[in-house]
Amino acid sequence: MRYSIYFSKINFFNHKFLFIFLGSIWFFFDAFIFPPHFGGVDIYYFKDAGINFYEGLGLVSRFTFGNPTFEYQPYTHYPPLYSILFGLFCKIFGLSIKSNQIYNSAILVTLSICLLFLFNKILEKSNFKNKNFLRTLLIFICIPSLIYIPEPDRPDSLGVLFVLATILIISKKNQNKNI
């Protein structure tokens, strides 16, 4: 009973800092408490070029598709933004397994927060008297990875982040239009 009374007294979605607060808690646990993800094959394809960029070797990789040797080849098999941003991140925070985990966590948490802000308009108009809706909403907010779970060390999550951020910016500029 107290559960429904508590949520009926506050306007849940006027407090957008709640999204950021929950995302920050999730980021803290994912980045600093949970053990780092073991990088699969993708860490070689996408992060190797960023590490070489960080070390001053340029945007090159020894693990490029079709490279029969271990000589450095130009990184040309995927858009380079993810690798460049990882190299810049390493310049600021250093190169380690933990910094790799923090980089992955920061992208995923930012992606989840963007998505929650996009759903804010829909959720503001919802009926909060329905207990099942509230329970589902709490699970949805508390577990951002339910929204989108990218594999670690892949640039796909960064691409989705840029798309969602663009939609969010456009929706803020066009408050009266439906997206």
Query: Please, what is the average pLDDT of the chain?
Result: 76
pLDDT in the model for residue 147: 52
What is the domain extent for residue 177?
A: 1-34+96-179
Query: Are both 172 and 115 inside the same structural domain?
Result: yes
In this structure, are 22 and 53 located in the same domain? no
Q: Please, are residues 160 and 167 in contact by the beta-carbon 8 Å criterion? A: no
The pLDDT, as a whole number, for residue 27 is 83
Are residues 124 and 113 both part of a single domain?
Answer: yes
Number of structural domains found in the chain: 2
Per-residue pLDDT tens over the stretch 120-173? 666 666 666 666 666 666 666 666 555 556 677 788 888 888 888 888 888 777
66: left (phi over 0), alpha (psi -120 to 50) or beta: left
Assess whether 151 and 124 both reside in one domain: yes
Verify that 86 and 117 share a domain, yes or no. Answer: no
- Is 165 in the same domain as 119? yes
Same domain as 51, residue 85: yes
Are 11 and 42 members of one domain? no
CA pair distance 124, 94, nearest whole angstrom: 41
Backbone angles phi, psi at 93, to 5 degrees: -105, 0
Residues 127 and 51 in one domain: no
Highest mean pLDDT (candidates 3-7, 84-88, 134-138, 153-157): 84-88
Q: Which of 86, 88, 82 is nearest to 100 (CA)?
A: 86
Looking at the structure, tell me whether residues 143 and 72 fall in a common domain.
no
Domain edge (last residue) among 74, 95, 116:
95
Q: Which helix (H) or strand (E) holds 106?
A: helix 97-124
